[in-house]
């Protein structure tokens, strides 16, 4: 999906603010306003993706789907935001924090490896061992995805 | 006349060629056309006029008919959609049957669209006239059907629309007014004040309700529904079923004794479910009929000897436990549907919590809350603790402009919130009022002024659609989360009471007669601009919220308009049915019932089991011809558009250079009108196109397409109204269902798939018509010679 196709999906937005009102991130971070983001994409000139360059807060989306569920115009907002992130990533517009997170995954196969205390506690509770991430597979997957 | 058929060799047709000044003569050589047409064996006379439609032109036709023994006429001029009625009127005036006229459209569909190709345009005009002559030869006089009109009206629904229409009509005619509820008055009776003038709603409606109750010409049947409608315009047979009321309306004096003694308390729907009533009750003091009713679901006494307190108390002996359902039948000439709208069910938006949070109410509940006759006697108290709310929020567009529920704007809700905000400010100026809105639509007389006044009174307007409401379970206060989009900032604020401004939905009550509705459940007008209170079914009219969401003023306007339309019909006392209907050749009919499934007007009576062959009621039939096209035995004849006529038209259109031609079947109302528009807009398209008019695309039999290709047509177009726009409700759907069969047949005959197309276009799409014809005529020219041979082989 290119940015024009995404715009076609967003066109019917009448700026009612239901998405932003529903957004759990907007509640704590006024910069992350999905409605404003939709409008910015709609108002950008055709095929210009520089609008995605300065939108770091977009990456805070938790894909909770509250906006998509409630949108009175039936826009697949969450789905569109994910697609926009893909386009942004393809053009190298990825925030440093996200890049760092990616590096952690490449190195460990997970974003946060369990700490010693957690592992001890699991043992005490007779819980089975945590499955180990398949590191080569994850690395291969990320490698292929980034090349796409 | 034509049926005599003995002297078929003796020509009877007169052809009148109009030059239309230079409009036709500028690009068609009329003298040359006349020369060619004179050679036709069926033509007795050809006459050229500069303006056939003018008085002198009409006199010439009249003289020709009177003096030269002409029996049928072909007028070659502008579109039959323009002057078709003129020729019919002329024929009627001089004592001829108006159906013996055929029009060749050589202006809109020839001279105007081929301005610079005189030679080809002349050829085309000649062929079009030949086609018309061939059709005219088969025309037969049709007797006009005149049906009497019963001078009685059925009004369904006794809200303000039904009340207004009934009162407008009742001085001159007998009205049967049927109301589903125990009282007339509808929603207007439950509203506190009306916008923009702030009149007390029941104070202006109450007297009208009483007038209905007292009028000698209005037969009010309340607590009843229309259960059957048969017949047709002027002659409907209606059956009304009245549910038992258990109280004699005439004897009851509404003295209140029975209510005092009744031990059963029930939630009162007439107080917006915010108060209580007894099992024997009157909806509100102004109810008409002013009589009590027993709620059979909750009354104890209806089961023998269980209670019976009220019956002992009633001095008038008005209470009848053994009351039962009654049916009434009437013959009526016309019907007005004024069933109103339904209100959006706010529980469908769970994030607003209506039904779970006591302090979230709808505007209609709010109207009862602040009404003097309501559960708090007009005091503003919130449901959870009966305390005066200090902060009230309104949420507009609840359920409206929302593709998950009702995509349309519900018309009155903005003004209702604004009015309610002013009512609060008027009585309790200290109460803070906030209105959350997406757009304020204050479009009517005095509306904008009311909106301004509300802002001046200090009502806070925040643009933004609230995402959710959360209740504090201890205080029952309500937290609204919303983005104030003007600032782009989050507002999260607590309110004591939240009012949801709910919109309207199509009424779910079914009328036992096929009257078309839109997908939202509202009745469809015969024409949205020019026939806004007529339905596509003759003699049936609509008024008020049944047609679309609207406010009181608009409802009353429409109700009076509908009453006016009914008066027009009833005063005349008779109805001339357009002589355009199908009839069945019963010898061939196998009673397969297929035709009945095609008819949206229930005009066909047929019974497979009892082997009753099909017959068409010509009054109910609107003349689309869909049944005739799909009849497997070909035993239905569509008057004026018979198979024989259309085959002749096809044959002549494709006689010369068939392989280079595009043959177009166009429906009278949309695509043919679109072709006319291409002409009036002078959009040019290739001359190798020939149009055959039918009333509906549903008339286009698969055999017509086959015949066209068998005759070697380069390409064929089947055109009609856009889906949902069919003038005959579903004719285009049935036309579309034939596509598969047609393409399968084409494949077998080795006919290229792209040589046939089904295209929908409206009367406004002249340009599109020209574009599609241009594309298809290119297909025809490209296929040209080679396929003609193929097809000829296939036919052989």
The 10s digit of each residue's pLDDT in B78-92 is 999 999 989 999 999
Tokens of B75: 């007028």
Using a CB–CB cutoff of 8 Å, tell me whether B479 touches chain A: no
Q: Which of B22-36, B116-130, B326-340, B505-519 has the least mean pLDDT? A: B505-519
B409 touches chain A (CB under 8 A): no
Residue B632 pLDDT grade (very low, low, confident, very high; cuts 50, 70, 90): very high
Return the sign of the alpha-carbon dihedral for residues B314, B316, B320, B326: negative
In this predicted structure, the answer to whether residue B784 has a pLDDT above a threshold of 80 is: no
Structure tokens at B567: 């008066």
Asked if residues B127 and B114 have their Cβ atoms less than 8 Å apart, the reply is no
pLDDT at B9 over 80: no
Residue B94 has pLDDT above 50, yes or no: yes
Residue B620: which residues within 8 A CB-CB, separation 6 or more?
B232, B601, B602, B603
* Mean pLDDT score, B133-137: 95
Mean pLDDT of the B480-492 span: 95
| B481 interfaces chain A, CB cutoff of 8 Å | yes
- What's the distance, CA B713 to chain centroid? 38
pLDDT for B554 beyond 80: yes
Residues of chain B contacting A17 with CB distance shorter than 8 Å = 463-465, 467, 482-485
Residue B37 has pLDDT above 70, yes or no: yes
B-chain CB neighbours of A21 within 8 Å are 464-468, 481-483, 490
Q: pLDDT at residue B289 above 80?
A: yes
Stretch A89-96: mean pLDDT, rounded? 87
Q: Is B399 on the interface with A (CB under 8 A)?
A: no
B488: helix, coil or strand? coil
- Here the ipTM equals 0.83
Calculated CA dihedral for residues B161, B167, B168, B171, nearest 10 degrees: 160
CB < 8 Å to A15, chain B? 485
Query: Which residues face B101 on adjacent strands?
Result: B73
Please name the helix (run of DSSP H) or strand (run of DSSP E) that holds residue B240, with its range, or none. Answer: strand B235-242
Mean pLDDT of B137-163: 94
* Residue B567 three-state SS: helix
CB count in 10 Å sphere of residue B666: 25
Residues in contact with B661: Cβ distance below 8 Å, sequence separation at least 6, in sequence order:
B653, B654, B688, B689, B690, B713, B714, B715, B777, B780
Among the partner-chain residues B464, B466, B490, the one whose CB lies closest to the CB of A26 is B490
Give CA separation, B291 vs B269, B280, B688, in Å. Answer: 17, 10, 74
Contacts of B481 in chain A (CB under 8 A): 21-22, 27
Say yes or no to pLDDT of B367 above 60: yes
| Nearest chain B CA: its distance from A39 CA (Å) | 12
Q: What's the average model confidence in pLDDT over A85-103?
A: 88
B441 touching chain A per CB within 8 A: no
Consecutive H or E run containing B766? helix B766-795
Q: What three-state secondary structure class fits B265?
A: strand
pLDDT at A145: 77
| Per-residue pLDDT at B305 exceeds 80 | no
CB pairs under 8 A between A and B: 64
Question: Distance, in angstroms, between B620 CA and closest chain A CA?
Answer: 41
**pLDDT, mean of residues B14-36:** 95
* Residues of A in Cβ contact (< 8 Å) with B404: 72, 74
Among chain A residues, the shortest Cα distance to B399 is held by: A72
Q: Report the SS3 class of residue B609.
A: coil
| pLDDT score of B3 | 44
pLDDT digits (tens, 9 = 90+) for B658-686: 999 999 999 998 999 999 999 999 999 99
Query: What gap in Å lies between CA A66 and CA A70, rounded to an integer?
Result: 6
**Rounded Cα distance, A86 and A69, in Å:** 22
Nearest by CB to B488, which of A18, A36, A70? A36
The whole-number average pLDDT for the span B736-749 is 95
The whole-angstrom distance between A64's CA and the closest CA on chain B is 14
CB contact (8 A) between residue B403 and residue A74: yes
Contact B481 A33 (CB under 8 A): no
pLDDT for B588 equals 87
Q: Which residues of A touch B488 (CB under 8 A)?
A: 20, 30, 33, 35-36
The reply to whether residue B465 touches residue A30, judged by beta carbons under 8 angstroms, is no
Strands of the sheet containing B662-667, edge to edge, are B689-694, B662-667, B715-720, B756-760
Give the whole-angstrom CA distance, residue B606 versus residue B592: 8
- Residues on A contacting B at a C-beta cutoff of 8 Å: 14-22, 26-27, 30, 33, 35-36, 66, 70, 72-74
pLDDT (tens digit per residue) in B332-355: 999 999 999 999 999 999 999 999
pLDDT of residue B516: 80
A91 Ramachandran zone, left/alpha/beta (phi>0; psi -120 to 50):
alpha
Put simply, the answer to whether B465 touches A21 (Cβ < 8 Å) is: yes
pLDDT band at B725 (very low <50, low <70, confident <90, very high): confident
Chain-chain contact of A21 with B464 (C-beta, under 8 angstroms)? yes
Q: Which residues of A touch B395 (CB under 8 A)?
A: none
> So what's the pLDDT on residue B193?
95
Cβ–Cβ gap A17/B351 under 8 Å: no
- Determine the Cα angle at B544 with ends B542 and B548, to 5°: 90
Helix (H) or strand (E) holding A83: helix A77-90
Residue recorded with tokens 């509808």: B186
Query: Using CB atoms, which residue from A22, A33, A72 is nearest to B403?
Result: A72
pLDDT band (50, 70, 90) for residue B792: very low
With a pLDDT cut of 70, the percent of chain B lying above it is 97
Q: Rounded to an integer, what distance in angstroms lies between the CA atom of residue B692 and that of residue B704?
A: 11
pLDDT at B40 over 70: yes
What distance in Å separates the CA atoms of residue B623 and residue A92, rounded to the nearest whole number?
A: 65
- Taking CB atoms and an 8 Å cutoff, what residues of chain B touch A36? 488
What's the pLDDT tens digit per position in A115-138? 899 999 999 999 998 888 899 999
Residues of chain B with pLDDT > 90: what percent?
Answer: 83
Mutate: best of A16, A32, A71, partner B, most B CBs <10 A:
A16
For B484, the closest chain A residue by CA position comes to A17
CA-based nearest distance A85→chain B, Å: 22
In B608-749, which residue ranges form alpha helices assigned H by DSSP?
626-630, 643-653, 671-680, 702-710, 731-737, 739-748
Q: CB–CB of A20 and B484 under 8 A?
A: no
Query: What is the pLDDT confidence band of residue B785, given thresholds at 50, 70 and 90?
Result: low
Confidence band, pLDDT 50/70/90 cuts, at residue A147: low
| DSSP per-residue letters across B277-325 | EESEE-SSTT-SS---EE-TTT-STTSTTS--HHHHH-TT--B-TT---
Q: Which residues of B touch A74 (CB under 8 A)?
A: 403-404
Q: What is the mean pLDDT of residues B272-294?
A: 93
In this complex, do A17 and B403 lie within 8 Å of one another by their Cβ atoms? no
Task: Compute the mean pLDDT over every residue in chain A, rounded to the nearest whole number.
Answer: 89
Instruction: Say whether pLDDT at B7 is over 60.
Output: no
Residue of A nearest to B483 (CA): A21
* B332-341, B469-478, B715-724: least confidently modelled range: B715-724
Among A18, A30, A66, the residue with its CB nearest the CB of B465 is A18
Is A72 within 8 Å of B490 when comparing Cβ atoms?
A: no
Q: Across all residues in chain B, what is the average pLDDT?
A: 93
Residue B438 in contact with partner chain A when CB distance is under 8 A: yes
**Cβ separation B485–A16 shorter than 8 A:** yes
Q: Encode B591-603: b = buried (16+ Cβ within 10 Å), e = exposed.
A: beebbbebbbbeb
* Residue A17 distance to chain B (closest CA, Å): 5
Going by C-alpha positions, the residue among B690, B769, B643, B707 that lies closest to residue B131 is B690
- Say how many Å lie between the first and final Cα of chain B, rounded: 38
End-to-end, the C-alpha distance of chain A in Å comes to: 14
Side-chain-facing half-sphere of B727: CA atoms under 13 Å: 24
Shortest distance between the Cα of B479 and any Cα of chain A, in A, equals 12
The reported pLDDT for the residue numbered B630 is 95
Contact at CB, A35 and B489, closer than 8 angstroms:
no
**Measured between beta carbons, which residues in chain B are less than 8 angstroms from residue A20?**
467, 483, 485, 488, 490
Of A133, A93, A128, which Cα lies nearest the Cα of A112?
A133
Cβ atoms of B464 and A21 closer than 8 Å? yes
| A146 — pLDDT class (breaks 50, 70, 90) | confident
């Amino acid at each position: 999906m290119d940015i024009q196709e995404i715009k076609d999906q967003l066109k019917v937005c009448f700026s009612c603010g239901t998405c932003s009102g529903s957004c759990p991130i907007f509640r704590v971070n006024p910069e992350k306003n999905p409605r404003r983001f939709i409008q910015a994409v709609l108002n950008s000139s055709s095929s210009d993706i520089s609008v995605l360059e300065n939108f770091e807060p977009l990456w805070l989306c938790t894909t909770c789907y509250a906006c998509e569920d409630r949108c009175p115009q039936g826009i697949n907002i969450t789905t569109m935001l994910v697609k926009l992130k893909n386009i942004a990533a393809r053009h190298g517009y990825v925030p440093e924090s996200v890049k760092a997170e990616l590096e952690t995954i490449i190195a460990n196969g997970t974003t946060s490896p369990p700490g010693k205390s957690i592992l001890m506690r699991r043992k005490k509770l007779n819980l089975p061992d945590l499955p180990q991430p398949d590191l080569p597979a994850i690395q291969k997957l990320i490698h292929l995805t980034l090349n796409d | 006349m034509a049926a005599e058929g003995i002297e078929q060799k003796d020509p009877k047709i007169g052809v009148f060629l109009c030059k239309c000044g230079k409009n036709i003569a500028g690009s068609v050589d009329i003298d040359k056309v006349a020369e060619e047409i004179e050679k036709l064996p069926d033509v007795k006379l050809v006459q050229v006029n500069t303006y056939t439609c003018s008085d002198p032109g009409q006199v010439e036709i009249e003289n020709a008919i009177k003096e030269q023994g002409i029996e049928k006429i072909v007028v070659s001029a502008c579109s039959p959609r323009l002057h078709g009625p003129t020729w019919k009127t002329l024929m009627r005036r001089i004592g001829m049957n108006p159906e013996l006229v055929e029009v060749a459209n050589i202006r809109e569909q020839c001279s105007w669209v081929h301005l610079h190709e005189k030679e080809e345009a002349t050829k085309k005009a000649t062929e079009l006239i030949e086609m018309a002559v061939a059709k005219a030869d088969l025309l037969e006089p049709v007797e006009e059907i005149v049906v009497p009109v019963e001078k009685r009206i059925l009004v369904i629904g006794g809200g303000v629309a039904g009340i207004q229409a009934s009162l407008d009509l009742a001085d001159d005619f007998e009205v049967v007014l049927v109301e589903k509820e125990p009282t007339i008055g509808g929603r207007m009776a439950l509203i506190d004040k009306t916008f923009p003038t702030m009149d007390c709603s029941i104070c202006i409606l109450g007297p009208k309700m009483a007038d209905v109750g007292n009028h000698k010409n209005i037969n009010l049947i309340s607590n009843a529904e229309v259960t059957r409608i048969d017949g047709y315009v002027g002659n409907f047979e209606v059956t009304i079923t009245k549910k038992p009321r258990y109280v004699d309306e005439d004897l009851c004096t509404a003295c209140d004794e029975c209510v005092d003694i009744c031990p059963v308390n029930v939630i009162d729907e007439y107080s917006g479910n915010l108060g209580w009533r007894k099992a024997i009750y009157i909806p509100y003091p102004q109810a008409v009929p002013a009589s009590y009713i027993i709620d059979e679901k909750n009354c104890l006494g209806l089961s023998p000897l269980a209670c019976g307190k009220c019956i002992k108390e009633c001095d008038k002996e008005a209470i009848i436990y053994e009351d039962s359902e009654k049916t009434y039948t009437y013959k009526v000439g016309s019907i007005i549907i004024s069933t109103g709208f339904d209100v959006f069910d706010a529980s469908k938006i769970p994030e607003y919590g209506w039904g779970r949070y006591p302090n979230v109410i709808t505007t209609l509940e709010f109207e009862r809350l602040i009404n003097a006759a309501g559960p708090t006697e007009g005091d503003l108290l919130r449901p959870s603790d009966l305390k005066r709310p200090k902060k009230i929020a309104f949420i507009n567009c609840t359920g409206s402009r929302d593709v998950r529920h009702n995509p349309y704007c519900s018309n009155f809700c903005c003004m209702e919130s604004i009015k309610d905000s002013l009512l609060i400010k008027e009585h309790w100026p200290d109460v803070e009022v906030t209105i959350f809105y997406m757009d304020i639509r204050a479009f009517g007389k005095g509306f904008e002024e009311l909106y301004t006044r509300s802002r001046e009174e200090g009502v806070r307007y925040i643009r933004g659609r609230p995402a959710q409401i959360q209740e504090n379970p201890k205080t029952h206060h309500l937290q609204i989360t919303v983005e104030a989009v003007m600032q782009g900032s989050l507002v999260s604020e607590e309110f004591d009471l939240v009012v949801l401004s709910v919109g309207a939905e199509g009424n779910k009550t079914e009328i036992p007669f096929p009257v078309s509705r839109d997908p939202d459940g509202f009745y469809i007008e015969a024409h949205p601009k020019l026939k806004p209170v007529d339905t596509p079914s003759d003699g049936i009219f609509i008024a008020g919220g049944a047609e679309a969401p609207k406010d009181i003023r608009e409802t009353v306007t429409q109700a009076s308009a509908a009453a006016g339309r009914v008066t027009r019909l009833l005063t005349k006392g008779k109805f001339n049915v357009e002589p355009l209907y199908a009839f069945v050749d019963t010898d061939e009919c196998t009673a397969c019932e297929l035709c009945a499934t095609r008819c949206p007007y229930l005009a066909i009576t047929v019974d497979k089991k009892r082997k009753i062959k099909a017959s068409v009621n010509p009054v109910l039939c609107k003349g689309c011809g869909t049944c005739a096209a799909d009849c497997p035995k070909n035993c239905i004849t569509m008057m004026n558009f018979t198979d024989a006529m259309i085959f002749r038209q096809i044959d002549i259109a494709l006689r010369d250079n068939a392989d280079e031609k595009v043959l177009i079947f166009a429906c009278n109302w949309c695509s043919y009108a679109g072709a006319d528009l291409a002409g009036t807009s002078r959009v040019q398209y290739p001359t190798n196109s020939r149009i055959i008019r039918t009333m509906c695309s549903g008339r286009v039999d698969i055999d017509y397409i086959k015949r066209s290709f068998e005759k070697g047509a380069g390409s064929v177009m089947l055109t009609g109204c856009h889906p949902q726009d069919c003038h005959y409700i579903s004719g285009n759907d049935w036309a579309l269902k034939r596509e598969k069969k047609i393409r399968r047949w084409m494949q077998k005959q080795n006919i290229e798939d792209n040589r046939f197309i089904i295209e929908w276009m409206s009367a406004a799409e002249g340009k599109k018509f020209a574009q599609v014809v241009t594309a298809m005529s290119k297909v025809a020219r490209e296929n040209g010679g080679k396929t003609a041979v193929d097809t000829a082989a296939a036919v052989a």
